[in-house]
Structure 1
Amino acid sequence: MGKSRAHQPYVKRPSPLQQVHSTRPLSQLPEANENQAAPPANDLVRDPQFWKRLSTAVHRAEVTKDVERGSQMSGTTNSTLNDEWLAQQHREKRHCRVLCASISGVVLVFVIATAVVGWYFTKVRKN
């Protein structure tokens, strides 16, 4: 058995939330770079289409490298390859949405069935 704490004085400890430390690297702290201005806290991209445009640009660069290496299939152009890639991305996105919707539907049906069975056994079976 453990020791009883009944005769020990109460010690107020700091909250765990007060012990959280900043995860910013020291090189980015204002004290470390006194001659440089601190970067703004909101370094996030605000444009919602940014990542789509970025991935399209990266893919175009990859296709251009493939074309320069001579690995392009005969009869296909850069825009055709890009259109095929975008169509594949749309198919994958649609597949993900359908999968998420079907899983959500199954969970919803399970919750409703559990509620109906619970209601049946609590209300109907008492009579």
Structure 2
Amino acid sequence: MALVRDPAFWRRFSLAIHLDEEAKGSNEHKDAHLWSCLTTKCRDNWIRKQRQKTKRTLLCGFMIFLILALICAAIVVVILWLKSRNWFKETPQKSN
């Protein structure tokens, strides 16, 4: 069986178990309050975190792509500059 690698999953799982145990030992008013927290506030917080994580991943991916493109462009410019200065041509060596 594969393990879940998302640490947020275990936090939500632990919260659900904790709320379930508290709900079994409490009255109707506390029970409604606990489960409303699990279904609205905590879930919205999890959704917001997932959206932030997706945005951050996309931003980092774009930045990495941009940096690599700039490095490649700089290499091409340097090679063209060196070629225009005839640095790639072999110079004949003087023989004695």
Residue aligning to 1:117: 74
Identity %: 4
Written as runs of structure 1 = structure 2, the 5 A alignment for 1:16-31 is none
What's the C-alpha RMSD, in Å, of the aligned pairs?
3.3
| TM-superposed deviation, 1:114 | 0.6
CA distance in 2 between partners of 1:57 and 1:108 (Å) = 36
| TM-superposed deviation, 1:92 | 1.0
CA distance in 2 between partners of 1:114 and 1:57 (Å) = 45
Query: Could you list the per-position Cα deviations for residues 42-84 of structure 1 after superposition, in whole angstroms to 9, with x for gaps in the alignment?
Result: x337xxxxxx6x76554233224455579x88xx633321122
Residue aligning to 1:107: 64
TM-score by length of 2: 0.56
Written as runs of structure 1 = structure 2, the 5 A alignment for 1:40-119 is 43-44=1-2, 58-66=14-22, 68=25, 77-83=33-39, 84-119=41-76
Task: Answer yes or no: is the 8 Å Cα contact 2:16–2:38 preserved in 1.
Answer: yes
CA distance in 1 between partners of 2:37 and 2:17 (Å) = 12
> How many aligned residue pairs are there?
75
- Structure 1's unaligned 5+ residue stretches are 1-42, 46-51
Query: Could you list the per-position Cα deviations for residues 11-68 of structure 1 after superposition, in whole angstroms to 9, with x for gaps in the alignment?
Result: xxxxxxxxxxxxxxxxxxxxxxxxxxxxxxxx337xxxxxx6x765542332244555
- Structure 2's unaligned 5+ residue stretches are 4-8, 85-96
TM-score by length of 1: 0.44
Task: Give the counterpart letter for 1:78 in structure 2.
Answer: L
